[in-house]
Amino acid sequence: MSVQDPEPEFSPADHFDHILDGRLRMRHLTAIIAVADTGGFGRAAQVLRVAQPAVTRSVAEAEKALGVVLFTRSPQGATLTPAGRVFDDHARAVLKHLRLGARYAKNVAEETGGSLVVGTHLSGKHRLLSEAIVALLAVRPDVRIELVEATPDQLLRQLRSGDIDILVGRVDRQAETSDLVARPLAIEAVTPVVRRNHPAALNGTKSLADLREHLWLLPSNSTRVGRFVRSGFTQAGVELPSRVITHSTISLPETLLLSTDLVAIVPEGMVSGDDRFVALDCPEVTMERTLGDIVLRGTSAHSSVSNDSATVRDFQSALERVITSVGQRRPAA
């Protein structure tokens, strides 16, 4: 049976200078966040690996220092009060900035090292990211790199929380707010690709009418690329392929491409430099699109990026050098 934690007794504070004299500490913030996340003092204690009375005491001390009740206690657990929700947001921001400050200070101190956490949903096969990492290692050979793959929405949340340093990939520009800065990476061609010994590659076939007889891998009609390709067939007066595999994300199906006469619509950057594949010259179904964005934390959408990490800046420079060096890509306007 759950025991209800008592609410603290305190007198409201007239001002808040006293919270800077040591009464409010890191353990108070971590306890508040843990209780908010788990919904109870006991569960928070398990997460923090301390005794429950320590969590109860930390939260009560914080409430006394602030002069507000942060949680509503009940036998079922604890929930944030309206005041608690406001303070919880700020407590998380404080811890985020402390983590970032520690990371960036270490990066500045380690000229050839440092750490970098890159969030991305670009295919691991795409040459842009791998070549940028190679370029970064050339100037920071001891850098510690972590790649985090997730959906765009998840990556944006992790960027805001400070769990990742930089996001590389396609994002919904509607999600951009004053705390994020997005910069276009480049323009790339999304085009039909086949294996090098594919009949279309050997015979120099460019006609959509001939290509439609093969098995195709097409993005779904819910995607912009998928709609463009289907429109290309229609405008060329050619029926859509009768044999189609539809997928919702653009990726490189190596096994299918190498084992069959599949024609796949993929970004050229996925096969550039790989002599096993050939990009066909089919302008009717070749689309140029923005490869993606570099997204960082910023103070406003029109101001300089508030990121003091030398490692992040070196990685941005590496990305820019790779984009410039790859002939089939040009910087986005």
Q: Is residue 4 part of a domain?
A: no
| pLDDT more than 70, % of the chain | 79
User: Residue 228's domain is classified under what CATH number?
Assistant: 3.40.190.290
Q: Is residue 103 part of a domain?
A: no
The whole-angstrom separation of Cα 310 and Cα 111 is 8
Same domain assignment for residues 209 and 241:
yes
**Helical H runs in 119-260?**
127-139, 152-161, 199-203, 208-211, 224-235, 254-259
Chosen domain end from 72, 97, 122: 97
Q: Is residue 124 part of a domain?
A: yes
Same domain assignment for residues 169 and 140:
yes
- Number of domains comprising the chain: 3
Q: Is residue 9 part of a domain?
A: no
The whole-angstrom separation of Cα 298 and Cα 295 is 9
**What is the pLDDT of the chain when averaged over all its residues?**
80
pLDDT 10s digits, 101-116: 776 676 566 666 788 8
pLDDT band of residue 173 (cuts 50, 70, 90) is low
pLDDT 10s digits, 293-307: 777 766 543 333 445
State how beta strands 244-247 and 77-80 pair: unpaired
pLDDT at 180: 76
User: Residue 32's domain is classified under what CATH number?
Assistant: 1.10.10.10
The whole-angstrom separation of Cα 332 and Cα 4 is 59
Range of the domain at 278: 187-290
Same domain assignment for residues 273 and 196:
yes
Same domain assignment for residues 155 and 300:
yes
For the packed helices 41-48 and 26-38, what is the interaxial angle rounded to 10 degrees? 120
The whole-angstrom separation of Cα 241 and Cα 236 is 13
Query: Shortest CA distance to 40 belongs to which of 94, 8, 2?
Result: 2
Same domain assignment for residues 161 and 238:
no
Same domain assignment for residues 28 and 123:
no
User: Residue 121's domain is classified under what CATH number?
Assistant: 3.40.190.10
What is the pTM (predicted TM-score) of this model? 0.50
Same domain assignment for residues 181 and 307:
yes
Q: In which region does residue 71 sit, left (phi positive, over 0), alpha (psi from -120 to 50) or beta (all else)?
A: beta
